[in-house]
Amino acid sequence: MAATSSYPLTSRDPAEIIAFHTEREIPVGQLLATASRLASRLPDHEYVINLFSNRYHFLLGFCASTIAGQCTLLPPNKLDNTMQLLSRDYPDLYTIGNPGPGYFDMLEGESIEFPEHGAARVRTPEIPGDQVCAIAFTSGSTGRPAPNRKSWRTLRGGAISNAGMLGTGKSERMNLLATVPAQHMWGFETSVMLPLFSNTAASDELPFFPQDIADALSRLPAPRALVSSPVHLDALLKSAVRLPGLDRIFSATAPLSRDQAKALEARYGAEVLEVFGCSESGIIATRKAATQALWTLSDDMELSVTEGATRVRGRHLPDEIELPDLVELAQDRTFRWLGRQQDMVKIAGKRCSLADLNRKLSAIAGVDDGVIFMPPGESVRLAALVVAPRLRCGAILEALKPLVDPVFLPRPVFLVERLPRQETGKLAQSAVLELFERTRNDIAQGDNLRLDRQRELTRSKET
């Protein structure tokens, strides 16, 4: 039987900087020395849930568990219900970073704040290529989160491919700040795997609000890149916060409009690169969002469309993967994204993309956030939850009418204080439906404030 190929945990030199922890530069050698020591202390289990919010602690935990031959579960959120489901589906697990099933305090008694003597000479561990090192879960935006197993060969190959697409493998080190958690595939690929295999260093911070993002960026040396999502980038644009010199903005998890990209480039002087991918395949394509409508496929990927199904092959992927997306192939390895299969709705013989409807809703002046969806049991009428403190429902509908076919106008429209977005900005289907039912019940039970805000909708004529 042929020996299984193995690959190094990192391709970086021990003296290179891989992270910033409490504003200090962390060399690769220090990471490897600490992770190797931690690996010998970890409990003997097959799976670990890494819930560290501090990105350097997450990186340490991931490297240590990988060295120990364990598989890291990357949950879509930290809700108790999600932890319970994982505990049921993967009984041989423990948790690091936050109390959970079989919690283990990985950092108890450990000193990881300062470089260790001899760290520059530490040996780089070899990892079997077929070792399953991570299981990434879909966000649950269309139902229950689905698992996607990632071998070390796949993770390593994806990181090398991504470095080429994102331009982070060049001679000058790029310093990254990510506003998305390391547990999400977008944050994991960019702020965890990318520093292991390209000349990048990631901040350990996880800022959310615009001023926090600006402050965290100011603590990084140039050149700087911001890894983010449209919901966080939109909040930046709506704020008056200034950012320090920024070279690149990488955006993913939801469509970024051309107007948003142009506004970001004009305000911050940074090129905006939008990234296309999913938990199943990882990153497969990019585009310059301010100027390009088509996506350019990675040199390591092949895309095909057969009988309406989109499939991707990659040098580092074990099998052909069917994507949950609808695309139209173009020339020179480019394609146009048409929407997600689950986003397509059909009413009165007409088809429409929910993603397109939501873009139009969010573009209405005065709408801070919103989502249009099909309520359970319905097949002929959409509904909407909207955050718009200065608008009434009727005004929202009037603004939508010139933009949307009448059969796709949402009825009812409910005004809410906020949407239950995850840290990446995504909305889990279950959370949207729960808020919808709760709001509808409040109105039915005579919530006067909500009733007053819905009366204009009740009085408006059906189209």
Say how many domains are in the chain.
Answer: 2
What percentage of the chain reaches a pLDDT higher than 70? 91
pLDDT over threshold 60, residue 374: yes
Q: Is residue 209 domain-shared with residue 93, that is, in the same domain?
A: yes
Using only C-alpha atoms, the chain has a radius of gyration, in whole angstroms, of 23
What CATH number is associated with residue 455? 3.30.300.30
pLDDT over threshold 70, residue 119: no
Any domain includes 177: yes
Q: Is residue 322 domain-shared with residue 354, that is, in the same domain?
A: no
Sole residue written with tokens 């989502």: 371
pLDDT over threshold 90, residue 271: yes
Among residues 340, 360, 395, which one ends one of the domains?
340
pLDDT over threshold 90, residue 211: yes
Any domain includes 333: yes
Label residues 117-138 b or e (16+ Cβ within 10 Å = b).
eebbebebbebbbebbbbbbbb
**DSSP 8-state class, residue 375:** -
Among residues 276, 310, 340, which one ends one of the domains?
340
Among residues 340, 373, 388, which one ends one of the domains?
340
Label residues 311-347 b or e (16+ Cβ within 10 Å = b).
ebebebbeeebebbbbbeeeeebbbebbbbeebebeb
Any domain includes 1: no
Question: What single string gives the DSSP state of each residue in 260-320?
Answer: HHHHHHHHH--EEEEEEEETTTEEEEEEETTT-SSEEE-TTEEEEEETTEEEEEETT-SS-
Q: Which of the residue ranges 48-52, 313-317, 342-346 would you say has the lowest mean pLDDT?
A: 342-346
Q: Is residue 299 domain-shared with residue 370, that is, in the same domain?
A: no
CA-CA distance, 158 to 153, in Å (whole number)?
8
Alpha carbon 279 to chain centroid, angstroms: 9
> CA 351 → CA 222, 226, 380, distances in Å?
47, 36, 12
Any domain includes 150: yes
Q: Is residue 329 domain-shared with residue 445, that is, in the same domain?
A: no
CA-CA distance, 423 to 76, in Å (whole number)?
9
Q: What is the pLDDT of residue 459?
A: 42
Any domain includes 261: yes
Specify the pTM. Answer: 0.83
Any domain includes 352: yes
- List, for residues 378-399, the tens digit of each pLDDT value: 667 899 999 999 999 999 999 9
Question: Which ranges of 412-447 would DSSP assign to H, the alpha helix?
Answer: 429-444
Q: Which of the residue ranges 102-116, 119-133, 179-193, 271-285 would you say has the lowest mean pLDDT?
A: 102-116
Q: Is residue 252 domain-shared with residue 167, that is, in the same domain?
A: yes
pLDDT over threshold 70, residue 152: yes
pLDDT over threshold 50, residue 220: yes
- List, for residues 396-451, the tens digit of each pLDDT value: 999 999 999 899 999 999 999 999 988 777 888 888 999 999 998 888 776 544 44
Q: What is the pLDDT of residue 3?
A: 54
Confidence of residue 82 (pLDDT cuts 50, 70, 90): confident
- The residue segments making up the domain with residue 87 are 6-340
Cα within 13 Å of Cα(423), Cβ side: 19
Q: Is residue 314 domain-shared with residue 409, that is, in the same domain?
A: no
* Pairing verdict, β 147-151 and 132-137: antiparallel
Q: Which two tokens stand for residue 275?
A: 């990234």
Q: Is residue 168 domain-shared with residue 64, that is, in the same domain?
A: yes
Q: Which of 293, 353, 337, 284 is nearest to 312 (CA)?
A: 284
Q: Which of the residue ranges 203-212, 344-353, 393-402, 444-453 would you say has the lowest mean pLDDT?
A: 444-453
Q: What is the pLDDT of residue 2?
A: 45
Q: Find residue 302's DSSP bridge partners.
A: 313
The H-or-E segment that residue 63 falls in is helix 55-67
